[in-house]
């Protein structure tokens, strides 16, 4: 099937490469020329395990190409035009900024041959009701619209795209459009469907909501355990043991119960804020008012982490050398958007600490985001003469460090485990003071 993928960021670049790997003929479109140049050369513009190999293979095989200057020919004959542009938080509040999305729709309207009966498929995360507006904008083009949210996690994006937990199709209220939308999606995802992947088919609004509801639930689960961590701190209980005990109940489950400095990234924080903003527009603000609390607990996690560092240093971080391990918002990505690690590092810097940040791959992005912080590539150099080490992102390189090996590098053997990811006994046995959050 010929298809286009409009927007080649974390979602679109992976989606384009994965669709080509299924045998489709894919044109990726993005306004960022530098990104397009890299993609054309088979290079991933960001770190995502498995992506670069796939890009190189599919571009070489001729099934995948990219352009920053789409023409009617690039769109002609495609069975699906996937829209995968970002919907970031607007500058003036919590609502989603839909300008890239509407720009992509306008581009399709402009370039599409109106005699073609193609299908436009929105994958971007959007406020409920957006698909309806997009459908109105497409009126007159002959294109049907479907909404098909994605649930991929950075670091596992290729795997999550090719072996998703479920597929969700949001179809039009118009029967012909709904039929065409479903048919096109079935054709695009045939091998994934044949593998037995569950498919949920419903309206635009259900599909739009599934995505924000899923991310809201995950964010709530993380903030729930961080709220419990606050109570653990006040009572001497251990949140990691609590999570373990809760997790054995299959109705609860252990995943997303990792207490620490909380969630960040390009999705969870902005999605819960956009959901609150949209619910308020619908006069249903009270239905998701708890998400404000989820957000507040999450921010408090960063504050508590800084307080833990201060306490570990006798009440003040001023003039102390602190090594922050990790810059990305989670391991296996170089994405630093709303990274709790960089936020904690900045707060320590603001309080007068001499902060050094180290990360296996995210330092280039970190330096752009936080130019005032000192980035140190070499882990040993970063640790040398530290008064305090702060684990902010649980990269395996950090979690697997031998505390006895690195002990002689630092000035004081104190580590704040901002992700509760380290083996406390092993660190204590090597002469370190291990400070957990909620333990």
Report the interface residues with ligand UGA, using CB under 6 A: 125, 150-154, 215, 218, 222, 256-258, 260, 262-265, 267-268, 329-330, 340
Which is closer to ligand UGA, CB of 173 or CB of 296?
296
CB of residue 323 vs ligand UGA: minimum separation in angstroms?
A: 19
d(CA 105, CA 132): 13
C-alpha triplet 87, 90, 94: angle, nearest 5°: 100
- Position of minimal CB gap to ligand UGA: 258
Select 143 or 227, whichever has its Cβ closest to ligand UGA: 227
Tell me which DSSP letter residue 7 carries: -
Instruction: Compare residues 170 and 340 and give the one whose CB is closer to ligand UGA.
Output: 340
What minimum distance in Å lies between the beta carbon of 265 and ligand UGA? 4
Retrieve residue 109's tokens: 């309207």
Residue 436 Cβ vs ligand UGA, minimum distance, rounded to whole Å: 14
C-alpha span between 323 and 343 (Å, rounded): 14
Which residue among 8, 18, 232, 267 is the active-site one?
267
Do 216 and 291 meet the contact criterion of CB atoms below 8 Å apart? yes
Cα gap 325→419, rounded to integer Å: 11
Q: Which of 265, 273, 266 is nearest to 295 (CA)?
A: 273
Closest CA to 387 of 307, 327, 319, 303: 319
CB of 152 to ligand UGA, least distance (A): 5
Residues 85-103: b if buried by 16+ CB within 10 A, e if exposed = bbbebbeeebbbbbebbee
Phi, psi of 216 (to 5 degrees): -65, -40
CB closer to ligand UGA, 178 vs 192: 192
**18 labelled catalytic:** no
Q: At its nearest, how many Å lie between ligand UGA and the CB of residue 315?
A: 27
Q: Which is nearer to ligand UGA, 45 or 262 (CB)?
A: 262
Task: Tell me the catalytic residues.
Answer: 267
């Amino acid at each position: 099937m010929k298809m286009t993928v409009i927007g080649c960021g974390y979602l679109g670049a992976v989606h384009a490469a994965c669709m080509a790997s299924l045998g489709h003929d894919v044109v990726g479109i993005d306004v960022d020329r530098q990104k397009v140049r890299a993609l054309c050369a088979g290079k991933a513009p960001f770190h995502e395990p498995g992506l670069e190999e796939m890009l190189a293979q599919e571009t070489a095989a001729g099934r995948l190409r990219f352009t920053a200057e789409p023409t009617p020919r690039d769109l002609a004959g495609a069975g699906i035009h996937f829209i995968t542009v970002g919907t970031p938080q607007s500058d003036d509040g919590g609502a989603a900024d839909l300008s890239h999305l509407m720009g992509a729709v306008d581009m399709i309207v402009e370039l599409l041959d109106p005699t073609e009966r193609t299908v436009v498929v929105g994958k971007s995360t959007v406020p409920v009701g957006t698909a309806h507006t997009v459908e109105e904008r497409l009126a007159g083009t002959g294109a049907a619209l479907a909404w098909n949210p994605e649930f991929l996690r950075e670091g596992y994006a290729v795997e999550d795209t090719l072996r998703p937990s479920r597929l969700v199709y949001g179809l039009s209220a118009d029967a012909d459009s709904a039929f065409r939308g479903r048919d096109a999606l079935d054709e695009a995802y045939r091998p994934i469907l044949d593998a037995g992947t569950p498919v949920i088919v419903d309206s635009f609004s259900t599909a739009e909501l599934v995505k924000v509801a899923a991310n809201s639930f995950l964010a709530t689960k993380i903030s729930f355990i961080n709220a419990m961590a606050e109570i653990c701190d006040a009572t001497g209980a251990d949140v990691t043991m609590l999570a373990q005990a809760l997790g054995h109940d299959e109705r609860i489950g252990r995943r997303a119960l990792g207490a620490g400095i909380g969630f960040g990234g390009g999705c969870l924080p902005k999605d819960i804020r956009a959901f609150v903003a949209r619910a308020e527009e619908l006069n249903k603000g009270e239905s998701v008012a708890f998400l404000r609390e989820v957000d507040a607990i999450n921010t408090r996690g960063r504050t508590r982490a800084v307080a833990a560092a201060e306490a570990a240093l006798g009440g003040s971080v001023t003039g102390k050398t602190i090594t922050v391990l990790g810059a990305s918002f989670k391991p296996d990505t170089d994405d630093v958007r709303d990274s709790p690690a960089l936020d904690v590092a900045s707060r320590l810097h603001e309080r007068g600490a001499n902060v050094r940040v180290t990360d296996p791959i995210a330092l280039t992005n970190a330096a752009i985001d936080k130019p005032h912080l000192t980035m140190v590539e070499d882990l040993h150099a970063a640790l040398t003469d530290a008064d305090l080490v702060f684990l902010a992102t649980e990269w395996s390189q950090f979690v697997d460090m031998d505390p006895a090996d690195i002990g002689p590098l630092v000035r004081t053997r104190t580590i704040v485990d901002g992700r509760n990811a380290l083996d406390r006994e092993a660190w204590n046995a090597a002469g370190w003071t291990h400070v957990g959050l909620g333990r």
